[in-house]
A = this chain, B = another copy of it.
Amino acid sequence: MRTLIVHAHPEPRSLNGALKDIAVTTLRDAGHEVQISDLYAMRWKPTVDADDFGETSDRLRVVEDSGHAYDTGTLTADIAAEQEKLLWADTVIFQFPLWWYSMPAILKGWVDRVFTYHFAYGVGEHSDTRYGDRYGEGTLAGKRAMLSVTIGGREPHYTDRGINGPIDDLLFPIQHGIFYYPGMDVLPPFVTYGTDRLSAEDFTDTAKAWEQRLLSIEQTDPIAFRTQNSGDYEMPALRLREGLEPKGRTGFGLHVRA
């Protein structure tokens, strides 16, 4: 495997830093190649602005200007380098703490800047009969992606009836909207709960479980998200056809096959 780990934590000696280090060591020891984008260490610029693009319209238009810069090879070197890493990798891992039910800003800014128009979206034909190569198709099709997320709070709070909402739903905008959108298959996430009170013994268990997940990536079935262009969705509304879902399923879960 060729794995890109995108890591987002300001403290190297944190749990997130440890999980990143375990991933690097475990994968390399098993003979795999690994590249790491350690966003804090790289001092990654998190904000999309006109400086990202070689030349922009007089009035910045993020979609068009990012697409033009991608097409003409005039994206800044830092963005181009991350796109190259994504094209090199067959496996992508995001390692981060859940802050306010989503990614830390520095990681969101990696997505905002690297996932440009014509690279990650606006790919393929857009018409009344087809709305792009996305959700299972696109530039990153055939690759695998996986989240490794640490959570301070308690696991029951993130279950089906838990007050914060189900973890699968909280991660859906990332797993479906960021990973699956440009074509990557998404493996079930590795989630570590209760990090506010993790004991040394808990950490040993977590490290062991994480190593096992890493070493079984190639044998792990992805989440069965529905491809956009295989007939499950009405055109041009892109609403799921009636009756395809298991009885009673609603919301984000509609977009996972039974």
Q: A residues bordering B, Cβ < 8 Å?
A: 10-11, 13-14, 40, 46-50, 59-63, 97, 99-106, 108-109, 111-112, 115, 135, 152, 154, 156-157, 159-166, 169-170, 172-173, 176-178, 196, 228, 233, 236-240, 242, 248-255
Contact = CB atoms under 8 A, between A and B. Distances in A.
Given A47-B40, A61-B11, A135 B163 contact: yes
A103 to B, nearest CB: 7
Contact of A254 (B161, B228, B233): B161
B47 A10 contact: yes
Given A100-B178, A239-B159, A62 B10 contact: yes
Nearest to A134: B163
A248 B248 contact: yes
A196 B63 contact: yes
| Oligomer: number of copies | 2
Given A50-B10, A164-B177, A112 B101 contact: no
Nearest to A109: B105
Nearest to A13: B59
8 contacts: A48-B105, A63-B152, A99-B112, A109-B109, A162-B237, A163-B233, A165-B176, A250-B253
Contact of A162 (B10, B105, B239): B239
Nearest to A11: B60
A38 to B, nearest CB: 13
Contacts of A161: 239-240, 242, 254
Contact of A100 (B60, B108, B240): B108
